[in-house]
Amino acid sequence: MFSGSAHPELAAEACAHLGVPLSSVRSSRFANDSLEVQLQANCRERDVFLVQPLVRPVQEHLVELLLMCDPARGASASRITVVMPHYSYARSDKKDVPRISMSGRLVADLLVAAGASRVLAMTLHAPQVRGFFSVPVDHLHALRELASHFRQYELSRATVVSPDLGNAKEAAAFARLVGAQVAAGAKQRFADDRVRISSVIGEIAGRDVVVPDDEIAKGSTVLELLDRLRELGPRSIRVACTHGLFAAGALKRLSEQPDVLEIVCIDTVPVPAGEHTDKLRVLSIAPALAEAVRRIHNGESVSDLFDAPPAAQHRLPCRPLLVIPVPAWPRAGPGPRPGSVAEAAAGPGR
> What is the 3-state composition of the chain as percent helix, strand, coil, each rounded to the nearest 5?
35, 25, 40
Rounded Cα distance between 166 and 184, Å, is 9
Q: Pick the catalytic residue from 94, 95, 169, 187.
A: 187
CA angle (265, 266, 270) in 5-degree steps: 95
Single-letter amino acid, residue 7: H
Q: Is 123 helix (H, G, I), strand (E, B) or coil?
A: coil
Please, what's the largest Cα pairwise distance for the chain?
83
For CA atoms 244, 59, 292, 273, the dihedral sign is negative
CA distance 155 to 301: 32
In the residue annotation, 94 being an active-site residue is answered as no
> Contacts for 258-266 with beta carbons within 8 Å, 24 or more apart?
259/226, 259/230, 259/234, 260/226, 261/236, 261/237, 262/238, 263/238, 263/239, 264/146, 264/149, 264/150, 264/238, 264/239, 264/240, 265/216, 265/240, 265/241, 266/122, 266/142, 266/145, 266/146, 266/241, 266/242
Q: Among candidates 162, 161, 91, which has minimal Cα distance to 123?
A: 91
Q: What is the CA radius of gyration of the chain?
A: 23
Got the DSSP string for 65-90? HHHHHHHHHHTT-SEEEEEES--GGG
Where do the H-state alpha helices sit in the chain? 8-18, 58-74, 103-114, 143-150, 168-178, 220-232, 250-255, 286-298, 304-307, 341-346
Active site residues per annotation: 187
